Amino acid sequence: MNITTFTLEQSAGQRLMVGFDGTELNTELKFLIKTLKVGGIILFSRNLIDPGQIKNLCLSLQSYARSCDQPPLLIAIDQEGGQVARLKEPFTQFPGNPKMKGFEDAVFFAKTTAKELSEVGINMNLAPVLDVAPEGINSVMADRAFGSDPNWVSEQGKVVIEHLQAEKIMAVAKHFPGIGRTVLDSHFELPDLDIDVDAMKGFDLFPFKTAISHDVAGIMLSHIRYTRIDPDWPASLSKIIADDLLRKEMGYGGVVMTDDLDMGAIEKHYDLNTAIHQILSADVDMALICHAGPNIEHAFREIADVQRQSQTMRALGMKSLKRIMKLKLRYLKS
């Protein structure tokens, strides 16, 4: 599709990846796709019954998007293995990143997961976790990270990215610039981390640098406030982190997305309009809203209004739209 012909509403909707309730194409999903023109759908356990149902759901989502003259949808899921795996049996169950003994485990995980996701129509995995969990602290990521050695995390993550994407499953590295040093859970609180970029370079940032060099499809921002880097905003809302650090300093030109804006770290501290303004100003491509409800439509209206009122925001929005559509063209060509 030619993005120069996109309406303002299409441009706004493509910036959203959203959750929903239900297990089949329903009125809610039709509204999200046809009216809000969302760019992506994220699946959770509440949406999943068995492989046949999931495949029918994904096919019907894409078919309905086509019938509405919309671009193909990103259909995403958190399938890390271990404690964060939305797909249950009969899908292959993995013990999780900390239990991986070598590259063979990472290859098997990625190839198997890519095959199983492809078979049911899911095209994006919000993995790998590239957080490095230091020893000696009660890291919030201890049960999800590959480990405490940034070189090991980097190499394992690289293998997962390469083998997912070789099978046309988009990989999303998370949670930039790294949350392994934190002990509070951003699902509930807004953690602060008192550390500067130089201290993070050889540790937290190193796996993301490797992921960028291996053309990772997407990078998810954390909801952590890195007070020595940006004392005012968590990474997901921070121009200093998303634009200055990730895009300009580290050279990432792919799709950048927030973590779920419904999480306590954001919802308890920032109103949605403020969050959307920060996301757009920071050159973040997609806002993730995982729960059904008015926040999705509210975010859509706000993105459209901001871009309507500001030439600068329209220009940034066009850059984001180009990145999103480039990714879709690469992975979702029919």
* Residues catalogued as catalytic: 187, 259
| Contact (CB, 8 A) for 9 and 299 | no
| Contact (CB, 8 A) for 151 and 91 | no
- DSSP string covering 210-256: HHHHTT-SEEEEPS-EETTT-SSS-GGG-HIIIIIIIIIIT---SEE
Strand partners, 129: 174
**For residues 103 and 152, what is the distance between their CA atoms, to the nearest angstrom?**
10
In terms of DSSP bridges, do strands 40-43 and 74-77 run parallel, antiparallel, or are they unpaired? parallel
Q: Identify the burial level of 253 via C-beta atoms within 10 angstroms of its C-beta, where 0-12 means exposed, 13-18 middle and 19 or more buried.
A: exposed
**For residues 204 and 208, what is the distance between their CA atoms, to the nearest angstrom?**
8
The residue type of 49 is I
**For residues 240 and 231, what is the distance between their CA atoms, to the nearest angstrom?**
10
**For residues 156 and 175, what is the distance between their CA atoms, to the nearest angstrom?**
16
The residue type of 208 is F
**For residues 28 and 14, what is the distance between their CA atoms, to the nearest angstrom?**
17
Strand partners, 289: 18
The closest alpha carbon to 21, from 29, 13, 9, 11, belongs to 29
**For residues 271 and 268, what is the distance between their CA atoms, to the nearest angstrom?**
8
